[in-house]
Structure 1
Amino acid sequence: MRTIALLLAYDGADFAGSQWQTDIRTVQGALESAWEALTQEQRRIVLAGRTDAGVHASGQVAHVQTDTRHSLATIWRGLNAHLPTDLAVQNVGEAPRDFHARFSALQREYRYLIDCAPAPLPQLRHQALHYAGSLDVPAMTAALQLLEGTHDFAAFTTATPTQRSTVRTMHWTRIVEREWFDRRLLAIELAANAFLQHMVRMIVGTLLLVGRGRMTVDQFGEVLASRDRRLAGPTAPAHGLTLTAVRYPPGLIRWVEPIERQNGTTKVEQPSSYVHEE
């Protein structure tokens, strides 16, 4: 039995989320169908992070345990041949038998894009939230930095019966500019050991209140301390959010890099912990 890791990218606009659901199009469902078509195995594919309907990924990671004897190059090429055009495998790798895409991860990274131009750009309608106005970015940055460290993020999540703890560790945060289609966008970027349901979108929705002058930085801190969802801002729309990276201990996954694929062969001589970051 082998454990294969998959690095995934997808446009979430037409998916009802990442997790498998009966009779609904999901990322996991599309992956498992492609895997069966390639290997004739019915296997459960496990994702590192759950993304909601409309949320994208450029650095999602999944794993599957398999008896297939296909090479990594064949798995990579074959899966992409069977997958829809809005979902693609970016890399494949061999992992230890006990590797788990979710539980072996050390860090997840997300990016939320905001377009503040006077008029929306149609090409960005599924990738960025359009807000035609000015935002106080220094105040937003100061508020965002209050989230760094270990905190109870109950104010920024939807309570669920299965949620054991709402404490998470935010490793770093930043607000930077990113250019897409010659348009300068505001990117809110966060990295944590794990995220709660809707957590990034609720943080962004509350940060927008700060940016618009409807909430002070101190009030933002009070929302975090309160653990009260009712005090936070609205949940930002899903389409501006992308899972950009999942990090693992160095050398845990032996990723295949495109430069190492020559003449139809695959080399895995250089283990790497690199997943993805734009």
Structure 2
Amino acid sequence: MYLGWDYQGLVKQEDTAETIEQHLFLALSTGCLVESRETSNYHRCGRTDKGVSSFGQTISLDLRSSLSQEQLAADPNMTEGELPYTKILNRLLPEDIRVLAWRPAPPDLSARFQCKQRTYKYFFPRGDLNVQSSYNGLYPKVMNSAARFIVGTHDFRNFCKMDVANGVVNFTRSIVSAQVSVMSRDPHMSSDSSDTSGYDMCVLTLVGHAFLWHQVRCIMGLLLLVGQGKEEADVVQELLDVDSYPRKPQYSMASELPLNLFHCEYEQGTQWYMNQECLAQVVRTLQSTWTKLNVKASMVRAMLLDLESSLEVPVSEQTSCLLQGVRSKVYQPLLKRPTCGSLEARIEHYVKRQRLEVMRTEDQSPLSAVSSDCPGAGPS
């Protein structure tokens, strides 16, 4: 688990030490649990970018064990008498990076390739959005009407940042479910009131097998435009038709701040081992974080209550800051905007520079590619 707001992403980078993996492997090395990253058989489930958090990030790697080879051979799932991994690591990690649980795994298990399902959550205030409310029926189910189009297997090239340079040329992915819901009401609204508030907190829950670079943030960016009434819900369906719209319109993706890789699911294996003492300490730390953030939010809310009571024309702009980029005075519909380069043009660009080798299907559609800059990327 980590709160990624103050970090430069999960993956270790050469130009900064403020990544989750940098702190993780420093703790692993200091705790004498691995010799090096290169020899640890390390795999991560999902790559999260700068500012993105995760409650359920999962990794697989080889760690030093206190059990003998004979004990492990007799029972590969033995945990009794094993090193207290969570206790060792949480003592060495920053407070906003925590190990919640561990379990034995076969040496050939990959946290990335053997993950069956990933769940992302994107938290946001209602603002002036039309979202489905579980408290009343006053708002049309506009955002969910748009979200339902992405469920299923589709080519999502118009809903991501195409990472062709690293060998990603296949953008077909499967979304299991997509649901926008109200998770908590504005505490300043009467509990028996049927009115909604721009301060109601909502969440998009997105479940899929695998995700593309910035896919969730692009999807959320489009859903925000639909929720604000700037686009019709079926614009999502139209952009999924890559024959009619082979080039992605230029639009802003949603902010990274509210995004969380919440769950990573695997085939049923041995039970996760959770140290109750460590778990209680994580809860205390998160409660402290919640208190500090909620005190700040409550203070700002009190100021807003006073100021908003003096406004002649109400303002409800809580979600505006979640869409990045400069806001134009005159809104231009998505399908009339300038477009990005096509997938085929990008592939040709890198092939000409001998930075990409593409394998194609019988109908010459790109199936997979290997980047000369990143040979380990392989097919995606």
Question: Where do residues 241-256 of structure 1 align in structure 2 (5 Å cutoff)?
Answer: 241-251=259-269, 253-256=270-273
Return 5+ residue gaps in structure 1 as ranges: 1-8, 117-131, 262-278
* Residue 325 (structure 2) aligns with: none
Q: Distance in 1 between matches of 2:62 and 2:98?
A: 19
* Residue 157 (structure 1) aligns with: 160
Task: Select which of 82, 89, 104 maps to 1:94.
Answer: 104
* Residue 54 (structure 2) aligns with: 57
Question: Where do residues 226-241 of structure 1 align in structure 2 (5 Å cutoff)?
Answer: 226=242, 228=246, 230-231=248-249, 233-241=251-259
* Residue 202 (structure 1) aligns with: 218
Contact 1:39 1:68 in 2 (8 A): no
Q: Distance in 2 between matches of 1:188 and 1:72?
A: 39
Whether 1:114 and 2:109 are equivalent positions in the alignment is: no
- SS of the residue corresponding to residue 91 of structure 1 reads coil
* Residue 27 (structure 1) aligns with: 20
Shift of 1:181: 9.4
Shift in CA distance, 260/240, structure 1 to aligned 2, threshold 3 Å: closer
Q: Distance in 2 between matches of 1:259 and 1:40?
A: 21
Shift of 1:135: 2.6
Residues 53-72 of structure 1: CA deviation (Å, up to 9, x unaligned): 00000111011113432755
- SS of the residue corresponding to residue 8 of structure 2 reads coil
Shift of 1:27: 0.8
Question: Where do residues 202-221 of structure 1 align in structure 2 (5 Å cutoff)?
Answer: 202-221=218-237
Q: Distance in 2 between matches of 1:48 and 1:12?
A: 16
Residues 42-84 of structure 1: CA deviation (Å, up to 9, x unaligned): 3324210000100000111011113432755511100000001
Find the structure with the greater CA-based Rg. Answer: 2
Structure having the higher strand fraction is 1
**Range with bigger deviation, 64-73 or 89-98:** 64-73
Shift in CA distance, 203/158, structure 1 to aligned 2, threshold 3 Å: same
Shift in CA distance, 181/56, structure 1 to aligned 2, threshold 3 Å: farther
**Alignment TM-score, normalising by the size of structure 2:** 0.58
Whether 1:173 and 2:185 are equivalent positions in the alignment is: no
Q: CA RMSD in A?
A: 2.3
Contact 1:157 1:229 in 2 (8 A): no
Shift of 1:134: 3.3
Shift in CA distance, 93/136, structure 1 to aligned 2, threshold 3 Å: closer
Contact 1:72 1:92 in 2 (8 A): no
Aligned residues: 237
Contact 2:131 2:180 in 1 (8 A): no
Q: Distance in 1 between matches of 2:35 and 2:184?
A: 41
- SS of the residue corresponding to residue 55 of structure 2 reads strand
Shift in CA distance, 222/72, structure 1 to aligned 2, threshold 3 Å: farther
Shift of 1:218: 1.7
Structure scoring higher RCO (CA < 8 A, sep ≥ 6) equals 1
Return 5+ residue gaps in structure 2 as ranges: 68-80, 133-140, 188-198, 279-380
Q: Distance in 2 between matches of 1:165 and 1:205?
A: 22
**Alignment TM-score, normalising by the size of structure 1:** 0.79
State the one-letter code of the partner of 1:42.
E
Shift of 1:13: 0.8
Q: Distance in 1 between matches of 2:89 and 2:247?
A: 41
